[in-house]
Amino acid sequence: MASSWLRSLTLPQLAVLTLSVGVVYILGIAIYRIYFHPLSKYPGPKLAAATRLWWTWHQLRGKFPLTVHELHLKHGEIVRIAPTELSFTGADAWKEIYGFRSGLPENRKDPGENTDADKRHPTIINADRKTHGDLRKLLSNAFSDKVLKGQEPVLLHYIDLLVTRLHEVVDKGEPVDIVKWFNYVTFDIIGHLAFYESFDCLKNTEYHPWMSMIFNAIMYVHYIRTFQRFIDVRSIILAILPKRIVERRKWHIGLVEEKVMRRKTQHPDYIDFMSHLIQAEEKGKLTNPDLVANANLMVIAGSETTATILSGTIYYLCTHPRVMQKLLDEVRTSFESSEEINIARISRLSYINAVIDESFRLYPPAAGSHPRITPPEGANIMGEWLPGNTSMGMAQYAVFRSPANFKDPELYLPERWLDTDGPYAHDRREALQPFSFGPRNCIGRNLANIELRLILAKMLWHFDFELMPECRHWPDEQYIYTSWEKIPLKVRITARK
């Protein structure tokens, strides 16, 4: 009966019927997700609960961390931002989502976060638990305090070169884009530490072609992370890329391979980030493509993020004269000459640490979320039972500006990090985790902390800074695509009086 009825339908009628069934099916899924799904009890936009498209739209707009922050201000510490994803801002959630889970299954990294171009050769960021552990063990010695202390002359050489080049600019009396200069110095440093050769950005006062590739790669990674929630798009994108971009990508990979080869053959005894990886390759534990993939990652992670927080710090210092003067006093009274500024002595300063922590809080390089997934059997997170394969993350921008974690969260107040019995003594300082948390936290955090303090101290010892009026609202004019898409930060630099 039903089959004969279907056969009697004309083609237009069949099309309408098919469309109607599809609409009813989609509406049914949406209604289930909004009202009957295990995550339906958590607040958030109804559209976000119904479809991942809400999440996708805001990611592509480049303002997703800000949107999530607004949701948390409205709804509290747990917000639903997609049909199967929750966002948390509670300080204790770091440990429960990202930390070690003794005797419990791992909260795996969300597969949608894997942006490696070649799955056969994972980087330390995207590797599975065992491979990540092996890579981390190989690299941990390279980032130890002892090894970094041995690299101090390298750091100081490039930082002093930065100062020299800026003195030349000062003489011209023109405003400079400080973002560009921070990119120059951090890129030169990581080039030397990874390959025993600089990219000569400071020498040539221009971006190395690799840097342009990095900026493009960050956008590429953001799009991959966004669309991969629906389908693994890496192979598709690589297949449809224009020939020009394919050739550019081949050139880039070839450049990395060339630098890795020179590092292996010309400086085999030099102790740096690559040493242990090279030794592992020689023992057959890694392949050359593994080496190249992780070297490329180290250059990106070791330059762009450091330049970002340095730029943010200069912005906030320039817009808060009281803080700037207090930090200038600390730096300039602690050292009689620039040559006295080193790792050991900079570690004794307290206010510079507070300034950097406060800059991380308001302008975190990794402003968004890098979610984990509950094991198939589910997990208890922050006293809430979450079903298996639930995505859960912490957007740093929202966590660091949460009034539940910090008093006066929108104010730039480095003193909050030094307060022991005043109004900020009860801030949840452990909520600040700019290098993430747990077994997958940033392995280069020690280098970043040393580099930040040395560069900032040297700059402030030598120069005074004035923000140009057109950059007054610099952070508000940027988009966030995995990291901040930094626009020029124009400052007038003068030699200290």
442 annotated as ligand-binding? yes
Whether 432 is covered by a domain: the verdict is yes
CB 219 within 8 A of CB 261: no
Residue 474 lies in a domain: yes
Chunked in runs of 10, what are the mean pLDDT values of the chain (497 residues)? Answer: 62 68 80 94 97 95 96 98 98 95 83 71 77 81 81 96 94 90 95 88 88 76 83 71 68 80 77 78 80 80 91 98 98 97 95 98 96 95 95 98 98 96 95 94 91 98 97 96 93 92
**For 78-82, which contacts have Cβ atoms below 8 Å and span 24 or more sequence positions?**
78/42, 78/43, 78/382, 78/384, 79/42, 79/43, 79/44, 80/39, 80/42, 80/43, 80/44, 80/48, 80/49, 81/44, 81/48, 81/54, 81/55, 82/48, 82/49, 82/52, 82/54, 82/55, 82/229, 82/391
- This prediction has a pTM of 0.92
Measured from the Cβ of residue 128, the count of other Cβ atoms closer than 10 Å reads 12
Let me know if residue 348 belongs to a domain: yes
We report the CATH number of the domain holding residue 351 as 1.10.630.10
Which pLDDT belongs to residue 7? 64
Helices 288-318/243-266 angle, 10° precision: 100
Q: What is the pLDDT of residue 209?
A: 80
3 state DSSP class of 5: helix
65 to 128, 392, 397, 482: CA distances (angstroms): 26, 14, 6, 10
Domain-located, residue 405: yes
Query: What pLDDT, on a 0 to 100 scale, did the predictor assign at position 319?
Result: 98
Assigned domain for 37 exists: no
The predicted structure's pLDDT at residue 258: 84
The structural domain count of the chain equals 1
Q: Tokens 């049909």 belong to which residue? A: 83
Q: Is residue 20 part of a domain?
A: no
| CB-based burial label for 464 (10 Å; 0-12, 13-18, 19+) | middle
Domain region containing 258: 45-495
Residue 86 lies in a domain: yes
Q: What is the pLDDT of residue 125?
A: 78
Is 40 a domain residue?
no
pLDDT of residue 411: 98
Distance CA 488, CA 23 (A): 47
pLDDT of amino acid 86: 98
- Structure tokens, 285: 């534990």
| Model pLDDT, residue 189 | 95
Residue 19 tokens read as: 């469309």
